[in-house]
Amino acid sequence: MAEQSVDDVIVPAAVLPETARLTWGGDEFLFVEIAEEMSLAANFRAMSLATRLASAQIPGIVDICPSNASLLVRFNPDLLAPDELASAVREHEAAAASEVSPHVDTRIIEIPVWYQDPFTAEVQARFRSGYHQRPEGSDLDYAAEVNGLETAEEFISRHHEEPWLVSMVGFVAGLPFLFQLVERDRQLEVPKYLSPRTDTPALTVGHGGCFSCIYSVRGAGGYQMFGVAAAPIFEPAQALPDFEEFMVLFKPGDIVKFRPVDEGEYRAIQAEVAAGTFRYRQVPFTFNVDEALSSPRAYNHRILEALHGA
């Protein structure tokens, strides 16, 4: 699993089921379902439990993959009996639920995005008929409509003005799932395409359900497309400074702030990437779960202050 420092994570007990649901997958996998739906509380419980299991270094655990509201544990049954693994999960689950200092040491990353770009517009045009709910207009027009907003520009503002949490990384290499840190009734929600496309430009900023994402590579996809990020988030060659330690930019628990750019700035950033000099703007941040849950707008203001004051 991607490393992230999680210390004493707690979530309000009333928000989550008393215990996770454990489901076995063949002889080598244990699926740990914290909750049936994504929430900030469920996600932090999943991250905390994954981190605790990894730190315990239990012989026989091969891999731990945290997700939005669950985690998957792969184990070697010749080294670790299933009932022993289940017992260890219950022990660390109880410890995660009983801690009293809810925070995660993470970072805020600013992501430049060219909204309403020509690359996703061209792909949208190819896949309107038979694939999309609204053959006319654009994905942004449709997103604004289903969220009760008057214009695409209003939706773009709602999309980039508040920060997002990286709830998991996966599906394809380096792709982050992003959950906006706002009150439940302010969540942007947009259905996926009726049928998946066979093409999505690399670095497309997409949205499906309550999740935003950034497509790390070109390929198939079903999320609505709003724009393109200006710089890589997955760099196997590790030529850029931000990828010296690992080829994937994001870790679960990262906080993302989208920043809109025009074509000129997009091209300038692309030139920096080609020259090997581009650096993401990022700052360390200690994220307090209880404070974020109790007063989202005030806490988001603190996040933005930390980013802009760096």
pLDDT by 10s per residue, the chain, length 310: 444 443 333 334 335 888 999 999 999 999 999 998 888 889 989 999 999 999 999 999 999 999 999 999 999 999 999 999 999 999 999 988 887 666 789 999 999 999 999 999 999 999 999 999 999 999 999 999 999 999 999 999 999 999 999 999 998 999 999 999 999 889 999 999 999 999 999 999 999 999 999 999 999 999 999 999 999 999 999 999 999 999 999 999 999 999 999 999 999 999 999 999 999 999 999 998 888 988 999 999 999 999 998 6
Say how many domains are in the chain. Answer: 2
Pairing label, strands 29-33, 255-260: unpaired
Indicate whether 93 and 115 sit together in one domain.
Answer: no
Query: What pLDDT score does 13 carry?
Result: 37
Indicate whether 90 and 118 sit together in one domain.
Answer: no
Q: Residue 8 region, left (φ>0) first, then alpha (ψ -120 to 50), else beta?
A: left
Indicate whether 109 and 213 sit together in one domain.
Answer: yes
Residue 183 lies in a domain: yes
Q: Residue 93 region, left (φ>0) first, then alpha (ψ -120 to 50), else beta?
A: alpha
Indicate whether 116 and 68 sit together in one domain.
Answer: no
Query: What pLDDT score does 201 carry?
Result: 98
Residue 1 lies in a domain: no
Q: DSSP code of 243?
A: G
Last residue of a domain, one of 80, 101, 122: 101
Residues in the chain: 310
Query: What pLDDT score does 229 carry?
Result: 98
Indicate whether 166 and 237 sit together in one domain.
Answer: yes
Last residue of a domain, one of 66, 83, 101: 101
Range of the domain at 211: 105-308
Last residue of a domain, one of 38, 73, 101: 101
Indicate whether 75 and 136 sit together in one domain.
Answer: no
Indicate whether 195 and 300 sit together in one domain.
Answer: yes
Rg (CA), the chain: 20
Q: Measured in whole angstroms, how far is the alpha carbon of residue 182 from the centre of its chain?
A: 14
Query: What pLDDT score does 184 carry?
Result: 87
Pairing label, strands 6-7, 103-115: antiparallel
Query: What pLDDT score does 196 carry?
Result: 96
Query: What pLDDT score does 100 carry?
Result: 67
Indicate whether 55 and 114 sit together in one domain.
Answer: no
Indicate whether 116 and 20 sit together in one domain.
Answer: no
Residue 210 lies in a domain: yes
Residue 92 lies in a domain: yes
Query: What pLDDT score does 171 carry?
Result: 86
